[in-house]
Chains A and B, each alone.
Chain A
């Protein structure tokens, strides 16, 4: 069995927990309950008759006062960065987090999820910025934990990326 540790990273209230919940349990909760410390879930992904078990570390949201504990990142096979499309600053945080991961864990695969696609008319992140990042080699998906848009795809993409590295 292949098991991989994957960390969910991003500013607070961007929808990390919601994404994991939608992916693992197909549940969405409108109510915001902030994550304290870390919450762990797992899900097995099957790709081309191979299966890989993702151990999902849903970390508490990042803000200016609360730094992600680097010890939680240790041993991660990949990270999922999450930003909230309606809050531009969450993208900056995602970029900073990516750099932190690179410096502390190494250049491991990552994917950026810009969440809350269902509220796209309220988005403050413009598509150009995202295009720019993609050009720099970022793997970006626009998701909605609420409508389950691209959620499955996001994890699937990451899993296959991990597969190729094996």
Chain B
């Protein structure tokens, strides 16, 4: 112990302190030691830290907020120090994340590509392309905007673990049997697919598609968002869903985590779900028109086109008619107007022009729909000028006119009087500038006719008609008739009042005949054919100059020919072989005989003479008489048959078998000569 009091005091004090505060002091010491020893202090904090952090997290986000900068710095440092470590840690997360992102992008791209392709070539597509050009918005975007014909029908917010429906929004009119069951069924399906096909547990049911109805599913850690839509859902819907999911997930993470069946905390989600209720803008939505209205539209459109077409047709027809009128000489159209189906045409018309109503028939226009009003005028069209000329000039038939470019040329013959008329009147007619009458003659030269003094000729120069009167030799009358045609200006000739003086040349006698007329007796000598002889007999009676006709010295040439032919036939002999009644070797003779027979018959008929050809058969003197007679007959008959066969009528033929030889036989030659057939013509 210490020697001084102060030392004592201190000691005492210490003693007292020890007595009074001993245990506390020890604890205090221990505490200080704990606080001051970093090892002990950190192990103490280590013990309470996790609990403290849990508490803090339950109370709010203060701790998290406080830690954000530190954590960020940690991450930064860690990456700086060893990037591989961090990459390895993130690897399992990044892979699926990227995959999901890429596949989503691809899907969206494909969808828009499909739509672009589908609409790119259609009529609609053309419209959109024009819209794109007009507005400057890319075509693909326009397609997207217009083709999204869809409607989200219902949105389900489902508790992931239990499949219980947490919230549900739907279109007012959409049918829903039971959202609770649907939501459970959806999770069951998800589970079923996941289980059945052993898919990677990070991949989840993403969509269900039935026809144009589809359910898009967005899976969050605690909840599932399912969107049921009809039609072509836009790809943007996916993004909206993802966003909604994230929002709900962050806001209600705890409630989702601790869900025990009470859906009330999720009632507030309705508002968050609403953005998913997309639908194509009503204006752009292509509502299917009911069939009836469609039909009415079709009919209206057809009628409209019919109306247009018929109007076009009508106006074409009207134009055709107008063209016809404009082409037609003698018309000037001054005013046209259309009133509905009808057309009114005003203008000028030459009185000589054709009736305008007649042309309507050439078109399909209804005559009642065409109103015409024409005032008269004189057209200078040459056709009309000519018509007027004809009317006014009353041009003689013997003259002709020619009009060209206002020059009127008249050729032919006209009387001096007429010529004067023309000269006076023609210039007064509109459309005539000059007149040329140099080709118009007022006299016709009749000198080529060489008419005798006893003939008086008179000619009407306007008609070209020549009349002759008086007496002249018949030969002149004939000559004049032939000559008339070659005289210019003569159109017709009348010589009915010319008395012909007789002239034997009128009988047109053949050269073999010579005629003399003396004291009214006509003597004809020489030779002529039957026809001519007959005609002269009758014709001569018409002439006063002939009282008698003497043809006693006129030979009939036909008669002479007939006699000659008969003689030739009678000289023909057809020889037969002994005892034969036929003959095959005398063909030439047979033919000649047949020709002669035919000639004889013809001539006789011409001369109206009866004729009969007797065929006589002969034999030689050998053999018995009876047989010979018979043989003669047979030979004659053989020849007759030949003639019949060559077309000669049996009425002209007679046969006879002779009983006696023609000649007395002194030799075989004479005998042969007696076996014959001969001919005899009876007239």
**In the complex, which range does the number of interface residues on chain B fall in?**
20 to 34
Instruction: Tell me, rounded to whole Å, the shortest Cβ–Cβ distance linking A76 to chain B.
Output: 7
Determine whether B2 belongs to the interface, using a CB cutoff of 8 Å to chain A: no
Given contacts A75-B159, A75-B161, A75-B162, A1 and B263 within 8 Å (CB-CB): yes
- Report yes or no: A74 in contact with B188, Cβ–Cβ below 8 A: no
Q: Which of A2-10, A87-95, A128-136 contacts B (4 or more CB under 8 A)?
A: A2-10
- Report yes or no: B192 in contact with A69, Cβ–Cβ below 8 A: yes
Contacts of A77 in B (CB 8 A): 162, 260-261
Instruction: Tell me, rounded to whole Å, the shortest Cβ–Cβ distance linking B319 to chain A.
Output: 78
Chain B residue nearest to A69 in the complex (CB): B195
Most buried by B among A3, A5, A76: A3
Determine whether A102 belongs to the interface, using a CB cutoff of 8 Å to chain B: no
Given contacts A75-B161, A76-B162, A77-B162, A4 and B261 within 8 Å (CB-CB): yes
Give 1 or 0 for each of A96-115: 1 = CB within 8 Å of chain B CB. Answer: 00000000000000000000
C-alpha spacing A59/B23, complex, angstroms: 69
Give 1 or 0 for each of B178-207: 1 = CB within 8 Å of chain A CB. Answer: 101100110010011011000000000000
C-alpha spacing A32/B261, complex, angstroms: 33
- Report yes or no: B188 in contact with A2, Cβ–Cβ below 8 A: no
Contacts of A162 in B (CB 8 A): 261
Instruction: Tell me, rounded to whole Å, the shortest Cβ–Cβ distance linking A77 to chain B.
Output: 6
Give 1 or 0 for each of B137-174: 1 = CB within 8 Å of chain A CB. Answer: 00000000000000000000001111111000000000
Determine whether B482 belongs to the interface, using a CB cutoff of 8 Å to chain A: no
Determine whether B264 belongs to the interface, using a CB cutoff of 8 Å to chain A: yes
Contacts of A52 in B (CB 8 A): 261
Chain B residue nearest to A72 in the complex (CB): B191
Given contacts A2-B263, A42-B181, A55 and B163 within 8 Å (CB-CB): yes
| Cross-interface CB contact of B195 among A3, A53, A71, A76, cutoff 8 Å | A71
C-alpha spacing A37/B194, complex, angstroms: 13
- Report yes or no: A2 in contact with B262, Cβ–Cβ below 8 A: yes
Most buried by A among B161, B163, B260: B163
- Report yes or no: A5 in contact with B188, Cβ–Cβ below 8 A: no
C-alpha spacing A104/B328, complex, angstroms: 108
- Report yes or no: A72 in contact with B161, Cβ–Cβ below 8 A: no
Instruction: Tell me, rounded to whole Å, the shortest Cβ–Cβ distance linking A110 to chain B.
Output: 16
Instruction: Tell me, rounded to whole Å, the shortest Cβ–Cβ distance linking A46 to chain B.
Output: 15
Given contacts A3-B180, A55-B163, A71 and B262 within 8 Å (CB-CB): no
Give 1 or 0 for each of A10-50: 1 = CB within 8 Å of chain B CB. Answer: 00000000000000000000000000011011100000000
Instruction: Tell me, rounded to whole Å, the shortest Cβ–Cβ distance linking B24 to chain A.
Output: 49
| Cross-interface CB contact of A40 among B161, B188, B260, cutoff 8 Å | B188
C-alpha spacing A55/B185, complex, angstroms: 10
C-alpha spacing A77/B264, complex, angstroms: 17
Determine whether A57 belongs to the interface, using a CB cutoff of 8 Å to chain B: yes
Chain A residue nearest to B192 in the complex (CB): A37
C-alpha spacing A37/B188, complex, angstroms: 9
Contacts of B181 in A (CB 8 A): 40-42, 55
Contacts of A75 in B (CB 8 A): 159-164
C-alpha spacing A75/B188, complex, angstroms: 12
- Report yes or no: B188 in contact with A55, Cβ–Cβ below 8 A: no
C-alpha spacing A37/B195, complex, angstroms: 11
| Cross-interface CB contact of A5 among B162, B191, B195, B264, cutoff 8 Å | B162
Instruction: Tell me, rounded to whole Å, the shortest Cβ–Cβ distance linking B652 to chain A.
Output: 129
Chain A residue nearest to B260 in the complex (CB): A166
Contacts of A55 in B (CB 8 A): 162-164, 180-181, 184
Contacts of B160 in A (CB 8 A): 75
- Report yes or no: A57 in contact with B180, Cβ–Cβ below 8 A: no
Chain A residue nearest to B180 in the complex (CB): A42
- 19 A-B residue contacts at CB 8 Å? A1-B264, A3-B263, A4-B162, A4-B261, A5-B162, A37-B188, A37-B192, A38-B185, A40-B184, A40-B188, A41-B181, A42-B184, A55-B181, A57-B188, A69-B191, A74-B161, A77-B162, A166-B260, A166-B261
Given A40-B181, A42-B178, A77-B162, 19 more A-B residue pairs with CB atoms under 8 Å apart are: A1-B264, A2-B263, A3-B263, A5-B162, A37-B192, A38-B192, A40-B184, A40-B185, A40-B188, A53-B180, A55-B164, A57-B163, A57-B188, A69-B191, A69-B192, A72-B188, A74-B162, A75-B163, A166-B262
